[in-house]
Every structure is written in structure tokens, then in C-alpha cells.
Amino acid sequence: MKVVLAGYNIDADIIEDLKKRAGWEPDNVTPETLSASYARISRDPSDIGEIRKAARVETEKARKSNETIIFGLGHASVAEHAVFNFDITGISRLAVEEIQKFRLASFTEKSQRYVKLDGDFITPSELDDGEYREMMQSLIGIQNETYFSLYETLSGHLFKKFPARITTKQGKTTVEGWAKEDARYVVSLATLTQFGMTVNARTLENMLRRFKASPLSEIRELGEYIYNTVHPLSPSIIKYTEPTSYDTGREQMIRETLSKYEKKLMSPEYDQIPVKLHSVTRDADTVLCAALIYNYSGSDYASSMESAQSLSTQQKKELIKASLCSRESYDKVERAFETVEFVFELIVSATNYAQLKRHRMSSQLVQDYDTALGYTIPPSIIETGQTTLFTEIMKRSEDFYYLVEKNYPSVKNYALTNAHRRRVLMKLNARELYHFISLRDDEHAQWDIRETAKEMKRLAEKEAPLTSMMLSGKSDFHECRKKVFEE
């Protein structure tokens, strides 16, 4: 056996410095050579080290190889061997929601929970005609002033409420964080942020195509920046970035088709129930047992299901407990748990959704923000008597939202705040649900999404009690395990 570290990501400034020192030609320093060399493995008997060496020396040949194998033969996965890191700054929270929908990429974003905001925001270029631009800037100015005012009030209130916590530097930082995370609910989705992104070339090409089809000029501009950065470096793997008719016309076609059925479509309900469990795998606990039997025996699936159905409730419980024994909070549950699926409908604030969207292995159908769903008021705002002030900011924001909606519908959401709500249909299997609850029902989780997680957990336990027997936040894990294994 031989293991060779073929490459790794390093800071671009270091790469440039090394290129200057060694006198390398720019065309020879590209992630394309790794993609090309790995693409040849299936057809070239040479040692992979020699294949990589040839690709580095003959860059143009490597590029032609990429084009033939990736685009000619359709082996697009080869492009996944080329990886890019980006610093994305000066972009709105609204735009970030669109960017971070992509599953096969990694994002780490500036947190509004831990970093005090400084009032920076974007005015979309769509509003460059004057009047609306000034109105938006005035509105966001008021929102930001309210943010700083709320932060001061809330931090003072929380310091008095939790005097024992602020005796240490870490405790004081935690309490200050609570004030920041609640004050931010009045802040606009136009507020600027920054994040780091790591993405492979295959996903990046898909991103760029989608970005160019976006109705938001901010997203289209980002796409141009990224394309101009990576295309000279990797022209053979970042190639087809123009949107197709599928990218540009699909949404309109669906909406036009739905308009024909307008009389048959039900009016939306605004019952404000924040978490609903719409469906769960039928006889979920038995299905999980069947998957465990199948995975650890020589039975086919039909026989495994018959065996699972013959087990008593206690026997099923023993089998599922066996799959969970010795597990720690950081351990993933068995892949067999992926055979059980839950579909939840959630009503979440923009603050809540900012964290929910990070769970990209779930399937999320996300509706647009809907002012009819209201907005989320942090309990600390109510405790400090700031509800009237908070509500006034919401009203101002919505007044401008309705005004913009008539003339510039694509940018209306910039006017809304972190408190405004949307619906999300979220399908996730039991394995992913364990991961979600572990993070989001933890004592360190933000309170808004923790409330969502708690209710999802309660509903899952009701419908699939054995499958869900060890659902818990990390902070409650040992207590939960003790309850399950010592009863």
C-alpha cells in the first residue's frame, strides 16, 4: 500500500509568492492538472504519480483531456477533484440565502449572534432611479438605529438578569451575544455580511449558471466576479456557465400552468402553527428494524421485513437499542435510520431560516417571505417593554415592502427584516433528524431554532417512539442515554 498526498488547499497569497520565487508559468499552476490526471486513471495503466507529473508538464494536453472526458464523455465527476476557496464580502443576507442553497459546498458566515453589526447594507441597483433608493436608505437607517438602541437596552437587562454569568469574560461574552442575537431581529435582509466558501468545480459551474439566471442583480454580479476569477485559471473545467432555457423559464412556466387552475387552488391558511409533521414512514419502527436485520444478516429485504413484523414491541426496542449502545453525542446513528423519513412544514423567521438552511442534506422547499405570516418577536423584547418600538419598525418595513412590490417585485424582500417569516417544507430521514436535533436542541443553540427543534422532536417521538428514543440535544445527551439504557 502507498498513500501520497497529491495536493491540498493553501492560501492564494502563498501560491503567488511561491510562483514568483520559482519562476513558474501561470498556466502550470492550476487545479485542472489534478482533474486531468485523475480522469486518466481509468484508462491509463501508468502509476498515478507519473500521470500527475505528465499533466503538470503538459497543461494544454491536460486541458484537452478534461474537455474530452468531462464534457465529451460526460464524466462530470472528474471536475470535483478541483476545489476552490473564496472570500465573499460585501454581500447581503438576502443574497446569501440563495447562494447557500447548494448542497455540495461548504460555507462559514459572519454571525450576527457573535459580531455586533455596524450598519452596513446594500441598496440594490434595481432602485437606482432615486426616490425608492432614498426611501430604502432612510428605512434601513431607522432599522439600524433601533438595532443599536435595542442592543443597549437588552444587554443592560440581561446583565441584571444573569449576574452570576457575567463574573467571567466568557460568561459576559455569552450574555452580550444574547443581546446581539435578539436585537438583530429588526435588521434588514439588505444588511451586509461575509462568508468563506469552499466548492468543487462541478458544483461551481452549476452555481454560475444559476447565478446568471437570478432575478437579483446582486447575485448576477457575484456570478460575474467569480467567473472572471476562476475561468482564466481553469478554462477546461469551468466552461458551460450560461443559463439554459430550463434555468430561466422553468419557474415562469410552472406559475403560468398553476394560474390555469386558480379556481382549484386553495387559499393559503395562516394558522400560525410553527411546526407540523405532515407525514412519516408508515410503521417507522418496524421499517428501521427491517433495515437493521437486512444490514446485519444474509436475508433479502422482503424476508427482513417479515422478520421485523414478527417481532414484539419489546424485541424491536431491544434491536434498536443495540444499534444505539455505546454511542456518544458526536457519533452518527446507523445508516439504517435513513430508511425512515419525516416531512415537516415549518413557519420560521429569517433568523431561524439562516440556520435551518445549513442542513443541506435535508430536502427543503422554501416559499418566499410572506408578511401575512407575521413576524417573530424575541421574548427579551417583550420583557423589556420594547414591543411597541419593535412593532413600529415592522410596520415601516412592511409599508415599504408593499410599495416596492408594485414596481420592483424582485427586490421587495430587501425591505424585510430578520423577524419576518416564511414557510419551509422540510423532508429529512431519521439519521439526519438525529444530527439536526443534536445541534439545534442543544443549550448553546439560538432560542428561535431551538424551539423549532424541540417541537420537531416531540412530534417525531409521538409517531416513531422507538426510532426516536435517543433524539436529544448534545447538552442533554448523557441524561437521555441514561434514561434509555437504565430503565
Q: How sure is the predictor about 84, in pLDDT bands with cuts at 50, 70 and 90? A: confident
Q: What's the confidence (pLDDT) of residue 58?
A: 60
Is-contact 206 102, C-beta < 8 A?
yes
Q: What's the rounded Cα separation, in Å, for the pair 202 and 317?
A: 43
Beta carbons within 10 angstroms of residue 125's beta carbon: 13
Size of the chain in residues: 487
Please tell me the pTM assigned to this model: 0.90
Give tens-digit pLDDT for 303-339.
999 999 999 999 999 999 999 998 999 999 999 999 9
Helix 32-40, helix 48-57: angle, nearest 10 = 140
Q: Strand 363-366 vs strand 275-280: parallel, antiparallel, or unpaired?
A: unpaired
In the numeric block, which cell numbers belong to residue 279?
A: 407525514
Q: What's the rounded Cα separation, in Å, for the pair 372 and 358?
A: 25
Q: How sure is the predictor about 367, in pLDDT bands with cuts at 50, 70 and 90? A: very high
Look at 226-235, 297-306, 321-330, 399-408 and tell me which has the smallest mean pLDDT. 226-235
Distance linking the first and last C-alpha atoms of the chain:
48
Tell which wins on pLDDT, 35 or 139: 139
DSSP state of 332: P
Q: Which of 169-183, 238-252, 461-475 has the highest mean pLDDT?
A: 461-475
Q: What's the confidence (pLDDT) of residue 15?
A: 81
Helix 32-40, helix 59-66: angle, nearest 10 = 60
Average pLDDT over residues 158-168: 87
Q: What's the confidence (pLDDT) of residue 240?
A: 82
Look at 5-14, 298-307, 476-485 and tell me which has the smallest mean pLDDT. 5-14
* Start-end of H helices in 111-264: 131-161, 169-183, 201-212, 217-230, 245-260
In the numeric block, which cell numbers belong to residue 463?
A: 409517531
CB-based contacts of 71, cutoff 8 Å, min separation 6: 239, 240
In the numeric block, which cell numbers belong to residue 260?
A: 390555469
Is-contact 394 166, C-beta < 8 A?
no
Average pLDDT over residues 156-178: 87
Q: How sure is the predictor about 50, in pLDDT bands with cuts at 50, 70 and 90? A: confident
Q: What's the confidence (pLDDT) of residue 28?
A: 65
Is-contact 135 402, C-beta < 8 A?
no
3-state secondary structure of 339: helix
Q: What's the rounded Cα separation, in Å, for the pair 94 and 215?
A: 13
Look at 65-69, 108-112, 243-247 and tell me which has the smallest mean pLDDT. 65-69
Q: What's the chain's average pLDDT?
A: 88
Q: How many CA atoms lie within 13 A of 418 on its CB side?
A: 27
Q: What's the confidence (pLDDT) of residue 130?
A: 74
Place of cell 390555469: 260
